[in-house]
Amino acid sequence: MRALAVVAAVVVLAAAGWAWRSRPQQEPVAPLVSEAAPATSAGDPRVSGSGELVVAVAGKVRRPGLVRLPAGARLADAVQAAGGALPGVDVALLNPARKVTDGELIVVGVTPPPPPAGAVGPAAGGAAPGPLNLNTATLAQLDALPGVGPVLAQRILTHRDQHGGFRSVGDLRQVDGIGDARYEQLKDLVTV
């Protein structure tokens, strides 16, 4: 009995030590550009003179905070530099191939707040704001929806063409790449 208590105490102490060592820690970030150095590289204001980017990664990642990345880095690189997403975090709404810009904030695993009352995606062509009609929307209008990039917008158009249009907003779930989380994000922003 006594040996079992000693083993349990050692396990608890080891787990506490491991938890303490794996906690997130702040890392200071030195300025990328000295005052004597030019502020841009090859005319790109998003890149420091050293060719590095600094982005803030927040939300459900192992080490939230500022990370340094080489110029041209992708969102997946930023998340990986922050230790990766925590287990069980849905990253389906993030585009891992998107290039990041210097000074950007990347939020992982946190659902964006709903748009203010009456505000929907950007109005196209001077039209009054309101839900976007899936059966008449253009590629650019679909691309402007949150969580929808050009590839997914094209899939929506292809699905619409192949099936003679959408009969209900729920048909959006049949488009490859639209899961439950993305559907919940879009269902109030679109109509048929």
Q: Write the pLDDT tens digit of every residue in 96-111.
A: 888 888 888 888 887 6
User: According to the model, what pLDDT value does residue 73 have?
Assistant: 92
| Domain covering 132-191, topology | DNA polymerase; domain 1 (1.10.150)
Domain range summary for the chain, segments of one domain joined by +: 45-112, 132-191
β-bridge mates for residue 107, sequence order: 58
The residue assigned the tokens 């707040």 is 113
Report pTM. 0.39
β-bridge mates for residue 191, sequence order: 133
Tell me how crowded residue 185 is: count the other CB atoms within 10 A of its CB: 18
Q: What is the pLDDT of residues 16-38, one digit of tens each?
A: 888 777 777 666 655 544 444 44
Element (H, E) at 80: helix 75-81
